[in-house]
Structure 1
Amino acid sequence: MTQKSYLIFLTASLLISIGASAQATYKIKLTNLENKKGDVYIGWYTNSSDFMKPKKATIAKIVPVNGVGQVIISFEKVPAGKYAISAFLDENGDKDLNLSFFGKPTEKYGFSNEIRPTMRPAFFSEAAFEVNGKDGEMTIELK
Protein backbone atom coordinates (compact mmCIF):
# COMPACT_ATOMS: atom_id res chain seq x y z
CA MET A 1 0.00 0.00 0.00
CA THR A 2 1.41 3.36 -0.97
CA GLN A 3 1.73 6.14 1.57
CA LYS A 4 -1.06 8.10 -0.15
CA SER A 5 -3.41 5.08 -0.11
CA TYR A 6 -2.59 4.47 3.53
CA LEU A 7 -3.39 8.10 4.45
CA ILE A 8 -6.72 7.92 2.58
CA PHE A 9 -7.58 4.64 4.33
CA LEU A 10 -6.59 6.03 7.73
CA THR A 11 -8.62 9.23 7.20
CA ALA A 12 -11.69 7.27 6.07
CA SER A 13 -11.43 4.94 9.06
CA LEU A 14 -11.13 7.88 11.43
CA LEU A 15 -14.17 9.60 9.91
CA ILE A 16 -16.23 6.41 10.14
CA SER A 17 -15.28 5.91 13.79
CA ILE A 18 -16.06 9.55 14.62
CA GLY A 19 -19.44 9.25 12.88
CA ALA A 20 -20.24 6.03 14.73
CA SER A 21 -19.40 7.60 18.06
CA ALA A 22 -21.37 10.81 17.34
CA GLN A 23 -24.46 9.55 19.10
CA ALA A 24 -26.35 11.19 21.91
CA THR A 25 -28.96 10.47 24.55
CA TYR A 26 -31.92 12.83 24.39
CA LYS A 27 -34.59 13.19 27.04
CA ILE A 28 -37.89 14.57 25.80
CA LYS A 29 -40.28 15.85 28.46
CA LEU A 30 -43.90 15.97 27.29
CA THR A 31 -46.03 18.23 29.47
CA ASN A 32 -49.69 19.25 29.74
CA LEU A 33 -51.03 15.70 29.59
CA GLU A 34 -53.79 16.80 31.98
CA ASN A 35 -53.80 13.47 33.83
CA LYS A 36 -55.36 11.75 30.84
CA LYS A 37 -54.96 8.13 29.84
CA GLY A 38 -53.72 6.74 26.56
CA ASP A 39 -50.53 6.27 24.58
CA VAL A 40 -48.10 9.01 23.64
CA TYR A 41 -46.70 8.61 20.14
CA ILE A 42 -43.43 10.45 19.57
CA GLY A 43 -41.58 10.43 16.27
CA TRP A 44 -38.27 11.87 15.12
CA TYR A 45 -38.14 12.81 11.44
CA THR A 46 -35.23 13.67 9.15
CA ASN A 47 -37.08 15.26 6.23
CA SER A 48 -40.16 17.29 5.41
CA SER A 49 -41.84 14.66 3.23
CA ASP A 50 -42.06 12.20 6.13
CA PHE A 51 -42.73 14.74 8.91
CA MET A 52 -45.82 13.92 11.02
CA LYS A 53 -46.32 10.54 9.35
CA PRO A 54 -45.86 8.14 12.30
CA LYS A 55 -45.07 5.13 10.11
CA LYS A 56 -42.20 7.05 8.47
CA ALA A 57 -40.47 8.25 11.64
CA THR A 58 -36.72 7.64 11.73
CA ILE A 59 -36.91 7.08 15.50
CA ALA A 60 -40.19 6.39 17.30
CA LYS A 61 -41.60 5.33 20.65
CA ILE A 62 -45.06 4.66 21.99
CA VAL A 63 -45.35 5.23 25.73
CA PRO A 64 -48.46 4.48 27.80
CA VAL A 65 -49.57 7.24 30.17
CA ASN A 66 -52.04 6.76 32.94
CA GLY A 67 -53.24 9.82 34.80
CA VAL A 68 -49.99 11.83 34.85
CA GLY A 69 -49.35 15.45 33.98
CA GLN A 70 -46.04 14.85 32.23
CA VAL A 71 -43.75 12.09 31.05
CA ILE A 72 -40.02 11.96 30.24
CA ILE A 73 -39.03 9.73 27.34
CA SER A 74 -35.37 8.84 26.86
CA PHE A 75 -33.91 8.20 23.41
CA GLU A 76 -30.46 6.64 23.39
CA LYS A 77 -27.87 6.40 20.62
CA VAL A 78 -29.46 9.15 18.52
CA PRO A 79 -27.13 9.64 15.54
CA ALA A 80 -25.91 13.15 14.76
CA GLY A 81 -28.12 14.95 12.27
CA LYS A 82 -31.05 17.25 11.71
CA TYR A 83 -34.39 16.18 13.22
CA ALA A 84 -37.89 17.46 13.88
CA ILE A 85 -40.16 15.83 16.47
CA SER A 86 -43.91 15.51 16.53
CA ALA A 87 -45.86 13.93 19.36
CA PHE A 88 -49.50 13.25 20.16
CA LEU A 89 -51.59 11.63 22.88
CA ASP A 90 -53.82 8.88 21.51
CA GLU A 91 -56.63 8.97 24.06
CA ASN A 92 -59.03 6.59 22.31
CA GLY A 93 -56.55 3.87 21.31
CA ASP A 94 -57.03 4.08 17.54
CA LYS A 95 -53.28 4.69 16.94
CA ASP A 96 -53.94 7.95 15.10
CA LEU A 97 -54.19 11.67 15.80
CA ASN A 98 -57.90 12.34 15.45
CA LEU A 99 -59.06 15.43 13.60
CA SER A 100 -62.33 17.34 13.59
CA PHE A 101 -64.41 17.80 10.46
CA PHE A 102 -62.42 20.98 9.80
CA GLY A 103 -59.04 19.25 10.18
CA LYS A 104 -58.17 20.53 13.65
CA PRO A 105 -56.68 17.92 16.02
CA THR A 106 -59.07 16.71 18.72
CA GLU A 107 -56.29 15.03 20.72
CA LYS A 108 -53.27 16.69 22.32
CA TYR A 109 -50.20 17.19 20.12
CA GLY A 110 -46.93 19.12 20.03
CA PHE A 111 -43.70 19.73 18.14
CA SER A 112 -40.02 20.29 18.85
CA ASN A 113 -38.93 23.91 19.24
CA GLU A 114 -42.35 24.59 20.83
CA ILE A 115 -43.79 25.46 17.42
CA ARG A 116 -47.48 26.40 17.82
CA PRO A 117 -49.04 27.48 14.52
CA THR A 118 -52.69 28.39 15.00
CA MET A 119 -54.25 27.68 11.62
CA ARG A 120 -51.96 25.01 10.13
CA PRO A 121 -49.64 22.16 11.05
CA ALA A 122 -46.00 22.89 11.86
CA PHE A 123 -43.47 22.76 9.06
CA PHE A 124 -40.42 20.51 9.32
CA SER A 125 -38.13 23.53 8.95
CA GLU A 126 -39.74 25.25 11.98
CA ALA A 127 -39.45 22.22 14.24
CA ALA A 128 -35.98 21.13 13.07
CA PHE A 129 -32.98 21.06 15.41
CA GLU A 130 -29.48 19.58 15.30
CA VAL A 131 -28.18 16.62 17.26
CA ASN A 132 -24.38 16.88 17.33
CA GLY A 133 -23.29 13.95 19.46
CA LYS A 134 -23.85 15.74 22.78
CA ASP A 135 -26.57 14.62 25.16
CA GLY A 136 -29.55 16.93 25.35
CA GLU A 137 -33.07 17.46 26.56
CA MET A 138 -36.15 19.22 25.32
CA THR A 139 -39.61 20.02 26.63
CA ILE A 140 -42.65 19.77 24.38
CA GLU A 141 -45.90 21.11 25.78
CA LEU A 142 -48.84 19.32 24.22
CA LYS A 143 -51.84 21.46 23.35
Structure 2
Amino acid sequence: MAYVIVEFGDENGRIGAVHKSWLTPLKKQAYWPPYKEQEKFDKALRCGENVQSSWTLWSVDRIFYQTDDILKARQKLKEAEFTSSLESECDEAANTGRQKRKKASRKLFGSSEEDSEEEEESLPRPPPIKRSTVTSRKGIVF
Protein backbone atom coordinates (compact mmCIF):
# COMPACT_ATOMS: atom_id res chain seq x y z
CA MET A 1 0.00 0.00 0.00
CA ALA A 2 1.80 3.08 -1.23
CA TYR A 3 -0.71 5.82 -0.33
CA VAL A 4 -2.31 6.40 3.05
CA ILE A 5 -5.16 8.76 4.00
CA VAL A 6 -4.53 10.04 7.53
CA GLU A 7 -6.08 12.40 10.06
CA PHE A 8 -3.45 14.61 11.62
CA GLY A 9 -3.40 15.24 15.35
CA ASP A 10 -3.86 19.00 15.26
CA GLU A 11 -6.81 20.86 16.74
CA ASN A 12 -8.44 21.25 13.30
CA GLY A 13 -8.49 17.53 12.50
CA ARG A 14 -6.88 18.00 9.10
CA ILE A 15 -6.88 15.11 6.66
CA GLY A 16 -4.26 14.40 4.02
CA ALA A 17 -2.76 11.82 1.70
CA VAL A 18 0.80 10.76 2.44
CA HIS A 19 3.13 8.19 0.97
CA LYS A 20 3.62 5.09 3.07
CA SER A 21 7.34 5.82 3.36
CA TRP A 22 6.52 9.14 5.06
CA LEU A 23 5.00 7.38 8.07
CA THR A 24 7.10 6.50 11.09
CA PRO A 25 7.42 2.77 11.90
CA LEU A 26 4.63 2.87 14.52
CA LYS A 27 2.39 4.88 12.14
CA LYS A 28 1.74 7.47 14.86
CA GLN A 29 3.56 10.27 13.02
CA ALA A 30 4.04 11.34 9.41
CA TYR A 31 6.47 13.62 7.64
CA TRP A 32 5.06 16.39 5.45
CA PRO A 33 7.09 18.01 2.64
CA PRO A 34 7.52 21.80 2.75
CA TYR A 35 6.39 22.39 -0.86
CA LYS A 36 4.13 25.40 -1.47
CA GLU A 37 3.18 24.38 -5.03
CA GLN A 38 0.64 21.59 -5.43
CA GLU A 39 2.49 20.18 -8.46
CA LYS A 40 5.68 19.63 -6.46
CA PHE A 41 3.74 17.98 -3.65
CA ASP A 42 1.87 15.71 -6.10
CA LYS A 43 5.15 14.66 -7.73
CA ALA A 44 6.70 13.90 -4.33
CA LEU A 45 3.62 11.87 -3.39
CA ARG A 46 3.55 9.90 -6.68
CA CYS A 47 7.27 9.15 -6.64
CA GLY A 48 7.47 8.45 -2.92
CA GLU A 49 10.21 10.99 -2.42
CA ASN A 50 12.58 10.21 0.44
CA VAL A 51 12.07 12.14 3.67
CA GLN A 52 14.35 15.16 4.04
CA SER A 53 15.49 16.85 7.25
CA SER A 54 13.52 19.99 6.29
CA TRP A 55 10.18 18.12 6.39
CA THR A 56 7.76 18.72 9.25
CA LEU A 57 6.80 15.85 11.54
CA TRP A 58 3.07 15.69 12.39
CA SER A 59 1.27 13.37 14.77
CA VAL A 60 -1.32 11.04 13.21
CA ASP A 61 -4.59 10.38 15.06
CA ARG A 62 -5.86 7.66 12.76
CA ILE A 63 -5.45 6.06 9.36
CA PHE A 64 -8.57 6.14 7.20
CA TYR A 65 -7.54 4.23 4.10
CA GLN A 66 -4.58 2.59 2.35
CA THR A 67 -4.25 1.87 -1.36
CA ASP A 68 -1.74 1.42 -4.17
CA ASP A 69 -3.79 3.53 -6.60
CA ILE A 70 -3.21 7.32 -6.48
CA LEU A 71 -6.61 8.05 -8.07
CA LYS A 72 -8.41 5.93 -5.48
CA ALA A 73 -6.42 7.68 -2.73
CA ARG A 74 -7.55 11.09 -4.00
CA GLN A 75 -11.15 9.89 -4.18
CA LYS A 76 -11.03 8.60 -0.60
CA LEU A 77 -9.39 11.84 0.52
CA LYS A 78 -12.34 13.82 -0.86
CA GLU A 79 -14.78 11.45 0.87
CA ALA A 80 -12.89 11.75 4.15
CA GLU A 81 -13.07 15.55 4.01
CA PHE A 82 -16.86 15.39 4.08
CA THR A 83 -17.37 12.53 6.49
CA SER A 84 -15.39 11.16 9.39
CA SER A 85 -17.05 7.75 9.16
CA LEU A 86 -14.86 6.55 6.30
CA GLU A 87 -13.79 3.08 7.37
CA SER A 88 -10.26 1.97 6.80
CA GLU A 89 -9.28 -1.50 5.75
CA CYS A 90 -7.62 -1.89 9.12
CA ASP A 91 -10.83 -0.96 10.93
CA GLU A 92 -12.83 -3.37 8.78
CA ALA A 93 -10.40 -6.16 9.56
CA ALA A 94 -10.68 -5.42 13.25
CA ASN A 95 -14.46 -5.54 13.02
CA THR A 96 -14.53 -9.02 11.49
CA GLY A 97 -13.68 -10.65 14.82
CA ARG A 98 -16.09 -12.54 16.99
CA GLN A 99 -19.17 -10.68 18.00
CA LYS A 100 -21.08 -10.94 21.23
CA ARG A 101 -23.71 -13.61 21.23
CA LYS A 102 -27.27 -12.42 21.56
CA LYS A 103 -29.05 -13.88 24.54
CA ALA A 104 -32.19 -15.78 23.73
CA SER A 105 -35.20 -14.24 25.38
CA ARG A 106 -36.86 -16.37 27.99
CA LYS A 107 -40.39 -17.32 27.24
CA LEU A 108 -42.57 -17.87 30.25
CA PHE A 109 -45.83 -19.64 29.74
CA GLY A 110 -48.61 -19.52 32.24
CA SER A 111 -50.39 -22.69 33.22
CA SER A 112 -53.62 -23.25 31.42
CA GLU A 113 -56.12 -26.04 31.08
CA GLU A 114 -54.50 -27.19 27.82
CA ASP A 115 -51.09 -27.60 29.50
CA SER A 116 -52.51 -29.70 32.31
CA GLU A 117 -54.35 -31.93 29.84
CA GLU A 118 -51.13 -32.54 27.88
CA GLU A 119 -49.30 -33.53 31.05
CA GLU A 120 -51.98 -36.04 31.96
CA GLU A 121 -51.94 -37.60 28.48
CA SER A 122 -48.15 -38.05 28.42
CA LEU A 123 -46.65 -41.48 28.97
CA PRO A 124 -45.51 -42.50 32.45
CA ARG A 125 -41.84 -42.35 33.30
CA PRO A 126 -40.00 -45.62 32.57
CA PRO A 127 -38.49 -47.55 35.48
CA PRO A 128 -34.76 -47.01 36.18
CA ILE A 129 -32.31 -49.41 34.56
CA LYS A 130 -30.64 -51.78 36.98
CA ARG A 131 -26.88 -51.90 36.65
CA SER A 132 -25.16 -55.14 37.33
CA THR A 133 -21.82 -55.12 39.09
CA VAL A 134 -19.00 -56.95 37.41
CA THR A 135 -15.87 -57.97 39.24
CA SER A 136 -12.62 -58.53 37.47
CA ARG A 137 -9.96 -61.06 38.27
CA LYS A 138 -8.25 -58.57 40.55
CA GLY A 139 -11.37 -57.97 42.61
CA ILE A 140 -12.13 -54.48 41.32
CA VAL A 141 -15.80 -53.64 41.12
CA PHE A 142 -17.00 -51.60 38.14
Superposed pair shares fold, TM > 0.5: no
Which structure has more strand as a fraction of its residues?
1
> Which TM-score band applies after superposition, normalised by the shorter structure?
under 0.3
TM-score (norm 1): 0.23
